[in-house]
Structure 1
Amino acid sequence: MPELQGRLWLSRPEAPVVVIPPRSVHNVTGAQAHLSCEVRAVPTPVITWRKVTQSPEGTQVLEELPGDHVNIAVQVRGGPSDHEATAWILINPLRKEDEGAYQCHATNVVGEAQSHSMVTVLDLNKYKSPYFPAPNGHM
């Protein structure tokens, strides 16, 4: 609950809470995948996207995005309400190696929160129907 100090309303600090978590996505190679995450916190949180992978030794690795990926874009904006922020990640074009777990991670001075979603990629080249040429004279 806000407090009145002089003529300023101050809000009590609150750790981040994921209000709307990202949904898992299924699509084919060459298409695009879009994830979004909405977080509330006081002060407004910093939101980052990470891809969750495993090292050869089997430990969890969090790769901050977009990193070096030319097919990944990340955007964060304030709102839709006070002390909320919304973050998006767009993967375009989608490649088989983009498949995996993605984490929306929010942090502020009070704490942190995260939520995960899965991106499943079907390799379109594996499932294309075989090419049958048209009979002579029929096109």
Structure 2
Amino acid sequence: MHARILTLLIAGMVTGISPLYAADTDQMSVTAPATAQVCAGCHGPRGQGGGIYPRIAGQPAGYLMQQLQLMRSGARINIFMQPVVRRLSDKDIGELADYFSGIQAPFEPSTRTISVVALARGRELVTVGDWREGAPACLR
């Protein structure tokens, strides 16, 4: 019952957000898989992200595939993504990963240096998370 309510809630959020991007979805490449339209509702028509939704444009295909597969299997919990990814086939996931990895990131990479401490903390957050802050690991 709770899963059904959550699915309806998220579907409402996605359809409520979609009009914000309606004009921009025409910019999506002709080669975009049909499933990319669903991604555009939150991540933007070019995967640029915004607000709580991360940028997926320009991310490595292997990383995108891994994250989608982990969320689909339930090994990585994301209440917004799970209702969407559980319906994706392996082929869909591969096509989405290839598409979004092929989009050039919307900004130039930073040239600033990162301290060893900050880099170590970032690595820890990605691999272990910070459960005191309610942040699960990105990779498992």
With the length of structure 1 as denominator, give the TM-score of the two structures: 0.18
Indicate the structure (1 or 2) with the bigger Cα radius of gyration.
Answer: 1
Q: Which structure is higher in RCO with an 8 Å CA cutoff and minimum separation 6?
A: 1
